[in-house]
Amino acid sequence: MSNDGAGPNDRAKPEKIRCDACPVLCYIADGRAGACDRYANHDGELVRLDPLTIIERSADKLVPFLRGGDGTDWDGDIVQSNRPFVTAVGAGTTYPDYKPAPFIVSQEVAGVDMVTVVTEGIFSYCGVKVKIDTDRHIGQERDVVRVDGEPVGHVMTSEYGSRMLSLGGVEHLTGGSKKEGRVTCDALLRLCNCQAVEMVIGDKGHATTVIVQAGKAPVINGVKEKLMRVGCGSAAIGMFAKQWVGHVDDVVVVDDHITGVLSEHQSGKLLDVPPSGIKIKGRRSTPGRYFQVAEPGDGWGGTDIEDPLTILGDFNPKFAKPGQSLLMVSTTGEQYGYFTLDSDLVPQPAVIPAQLEASAHLIAENCEPSVCSVVFMAGAGGSLRAGVTENPVRLTKSVKDSLTYVSCGGAEAYVWPGGGITVMVDVLDMPAGSFGYVPTPALVAPIEFTMRVADYGALGGHRAEIRTVDSVMSPDNRKVAQAKNQPDPMAHANYRWAGKPDA
Amino acid sequence: MGPVAAILPCGVRLHLQHGPIDLIIGADGDRRVAFAAARDRFVSVLDELVGDLPLLRAQVLPETGLPTGKIARAMVRAVQPHSGFITPMAAVAGAVADEILTAMRAATHLRRAYVNNGGDMALYLARGQTFTTAMAGPDGADLGRITATDGIGGIATSGMGGRSLSLGIADAVTVLAGSAAQADAAATLVANAVNVNHPAIRRQPARDLAPDSDLGDRPVTVFCAPLPAKDIQTALENGQRAADQMRQRGLIHAAALFLQGESRLSGQTGFTPSPSHRTLVHA
């Protein structure tokens, strides 16, 4: 595999590296392992030597040390529920897949013999869907997303309070230039392993720089996002109307999508808020709801405005009175202003009453922290299935029939309807460092298929290759605890035969 | 990653690990109390040692002061009686094992207990109790059994196959001593002494293999092809001389030396050779 430009592989490698996995901080020479024999220097990269990652669940998972603990968190006895789940992280692969998967392990789970086929898939058809919790403008739908100048994906349909990106995929990995493929692969790898990736969205003139890291707040044009909006401007009016009525004559919630006006809004009408004579620049949708009050940007409520008064026209003297009060607030409560009309009916800044300031803080408090979510999406419908069975379509059918449970690094995978085995999984639910790559370029990701031994036989599985889980376990395995929000891949409830194991 | 603890699948052994320290612990008695004590003591062990690392990686000289940490002091004391080049790191595994065993014994009465730190073992045997351990060569070959009786507090093995670097060519040198730290230091030195000059032996400066090795530029053995019989004899005799001297000075109880299918014993090792293994006993 030749390189046609400077890339991560072209950096000069130091002869020895410092391992920071434990306080000993070994210097490790190239090709050697540290004092623990667990970490090694592989061409200047610190790598774990553990062959497999095992998830240990329930009472028998690794006991965290609590200094001064009395040991009551652990009974010192073997627990019957000592039931590890062998993940595919570190399992290796048997590409091009005509051989059985590296590990096909069996164990009895609550009276049922289960088998888990464990492999690290090489995914050419793979990418990530990124959900960025922000109302700030990060680009138009269909704008190209670039990393290191290479196109790696695009902006897709916005979701409520979030912007969405679709990155990677076969077109970028193998459909463009070599450099495009390599940069895409590297960006996907870093995103999937929960590292930060800087990307530029849109073309010159309207480019936005965004730093995305799974589980962390996005950084947009150098500014770290703090909060998701509580709802669109119209929704915010509905949520907080009761707290405003009687304390202020009108409220405008500024939002790039739908700006809300209390006195015109349905909820204001129901609370008998009289017309204030306010005029909003923008396109009125329904009463009290306005589109396009300004351009998108990183100002108030995802618009480009810094001075909220710029979205107001002249007050209608038929309804407006001098001294009338107005609260303007953004959808995150981060920006707010209080105004009173002077004798010419022009809003003038005034000291905000404590009650109204509290309502702005309440909006902020109701906004969830803004985070980036990275969901790995890949198709396991291809030759990877041959490592599982000699009759690949039967695996697909078995998954669709809820006889086979699909997980990635032990994390539950959503399986798309329709043909093939197209899965999605939140990378935060997977063990750290679950992803690798091959220079093809393609991502290497763990995938496990768990089912009853009988069902494995029925789908043409490599039954002769089944090993007991005990024969796979070794003290050198990396052991991780089950992610709190994740179901047990072997729990009977995952399967169609739940409650009737003999069926 | 901090220290971790787990009960091994057999249900009766405790595994403690932090960085390079890997302990397998067994105890006959109130196991629950003993394991809790081991776990509590283990939590800070690596951090205590790391604080004294520069001192522990330096050669011990008569004027060397004692470090602050308890385990570090035990390491210095274990190597101080020996002559020749040695740093307290030669006793690190044994000293850690001793400390955890001490913590368990302080917590509860035990009939028998061991703390195995990667082949260097601290042992407690109440009167009349014995402990048998299997010896294996670097290739996994069964070398025989060693049965320790009460009075033996440590069994340590050193050689080319282990995690640490060796200046010698021994497949394995197993030493029985009053403590694991003493056994560890002695096994290191006896294994270094099992040596001879021969073109079949390839050596490399320790620093090239492990940049922060306490052995610095000293040539450590990286490969040893089959040697002529007389060189095997010479190397084993060199090692045995070192072991005999230590035994006469009361530093160790016994030692068993293995090299390329041959072995030598020094003192009452309780050694039973494996039937398939040729042994020359000159004790």
Kindly report, residue by residue over A259-316, the tens digit of the pLDDT. 999 999 999 999 999 999 999 998 998 999 999 999 888 889 888 999 999 999 999 9
The pLDDT assigned to A431 comes to 84
Pick the residue with more confidence: A102 or B27?
Answer: B27
The predicted-structure confidence for B65-90, as pLDDT tens digits, reads as follows: 788 899 999 999 999 999 888 899 99
Binning pLDDT at 50, 70 and 90, where does residue A410 land?
confident
In the predicted structure, residue B59 carries a pLDDT above the cut 70:
yes
The pLDDT assigned to A358 comes to 94
Candidates A22, A62, A474, partner chain B, best to mutate (most B CBs within 10 A): A22
> Do the Cβ atoms of B4 and A24 come within 8 Å?
no
> Do the Cβ atoms of A60 and B7 come within 8 Å?
yes
**Domain boundaries of chain A, sorted by first residue:** 16-49, 134-226, 233-365
Nearest-5° Cα angle at B32, B27 to B38: 65
Chain A residues in contact with B47 by the CB 8 A cut-off are 23
Share of chain A above pLDDT 90, in %: 44
Q: Which of the 8 DSSP states describes residue A126? A: E
Closest CA relative to residue B173, chosen from B152, B151, B195, B153: B195
Highest mean pLDDT among A200-204, A474-478, B9-13: A200-204
Q: Residue A360, SS3? A: helix
Non-local (6+) Cβ contacts of A444 within 8 A are A93, A120, A121, A122, A123, A435, A436, A437, A438
Q: Residue A390, SS3? A: coil
How much is the mean pLDDT over chain A?
A: 82
Closest residue to B7, CB basis, from A25, A29, A76: A76
Sign of CA dihedral A476, A477, A481, A483: positive
Binning pLDDT at 50, 70 and 90, where does residue B38 land?
very high
Say if A464 is an interface residue toward chain B (CB within 8 Å).
no
In the predicted structure, residue A406 carries a pLDDT above the cut 70:
yes
**Domain boundaries of chain B, sorted by first residue:** 4-273
Candidates B13, B17, B222, partner chain A, best to mutate (most A CBs within 10 A): B17
Residues A185 and A437: beta-carbon distance below 8 Å: yes
> Do the Cβ atoms of B1 and A21 come within 8 Å?
yes
The pLDDT assigned to B239 comes to 95
Domain range B4-273, CATH architecture = Roll (3.10)
Binning pLDDT at 50, 70 and 90, where does residue A503 land?
very low
Candidates A18, A19, A24, A27, partner chain B, best to mutate (most B CBs within 10 A): A24
Average pLDDT over residues A89-108: 60
> Do the Cβ atoms of A65 and B43 come within 8 Å?
yes
The predicted-structure confidence for B160-184, as pLDDT tens digits, reads as follows: 766 678 889 998 899 999 999 999 9
Q: How far is A501 from chain B (nearest CA, A)?
A: 27
Average pLDDT over residues A48-67: 45
The predicted-structure confidence for B197-235, as pLDDT tens digits, reads as follows: 988 888 888 888 888 888 888 888 888 888 899 999 999
> Do the Cβ atoms of A37 and B212 come within 8 Å?
no
In the predicted structure, residue B194 carries a pLDDT above the cut 90:
yes
The pLDDT assigned to A113 comes to 81
The pLDDT assigned to B62 comes to 74
Say if A31 is an interface residue toward chain B (CB within 8 Å).
no
> Do the Cβ atoms of A34 and B3 come within 8 Å?
no
Chain B residues in contact with A470 by the CB 8 A cut-off are 9
The pLDDT assigned to A259 comes to 95
> Do the Cβ atoms of B163 and A35 come within 8 Å?
yes
Between CA A269 and CA A238 the distance in angstroms is 11
**CB-CB neighbours of B209 under 10 Å:** 16
Average pLDDT over residues A117-125: 82
Pick the residue with more confidence: A429 or A338?
Answer: A338
> Do the Cβ atoms of A76 and B35 come within 8 Å?
yes
- State yes or no: cis peptide before B81, omega within 30 of 0: no
Chain B residues in contact with A71 by the CB 8 A cut-off are 32, 35-36, 39-40
Among B residues 160-179, those touching chain A with beta carbons less than 8 Å apart: 163
> Do the Cβ atoms of A475 and B2 come within 8 Å?
no
Helix axes B92-107, B180-193, angle to 10 degrees: 160
The pLDDT assigned to A60 comes to 32
Chain A residues in contact with B53 by the CB 8 A cut-off are 24
Among B residues 220-279, those touching chain A with beta carbons less than 8 Å apart: none
Six-digit token pair at A286?
């329904």
> Do the Cβ atoms of B43 and A67 come within 8 Å?
yes
Q: How far is B121 from chain A (nearest CA, A)?
A: 17
Closest CA relative to residue B257, chosen from B143, B86, B125: B143
- State yes or no: cis peptide before A51, omega within 30 of 0: no
Gyration radius of chain B's alpha carbons: 18
Strand order in the sheet with A478-481: A85-86, A53-56, A478-481
> Do the Cβ atoms of B7 and A69 come within 8 Å?
no
Q: How far is B39 from chain A (nearest CA, A)?
A: 8
User: Which of A57-61, A286-290, A434-438 is predicted least confidently?
Assistant: A57-61
The predicted-structure confidence for A132-191, as pLDDT tens digits, reads as follows: 998 788 999 999 999 999 999 999 999 988 999 999 999 999 888 989 998 999 999 999
Non-local (6+) Cβ contacts of B220 within 8 A are B165, B166, B167, B203, B204, B205, B206, B209, B213
The pLDDT assigned to A90 comes to 62
Between CA A197 and CA A195 the distance in angstroms is 7
> Do the Cβ atoms of B211 and A28 come within 8 Å?
yes
Nearest-5° Cα angle at A327, A309 to A138: 60
The pLDDT assigned to B85 comes to 85
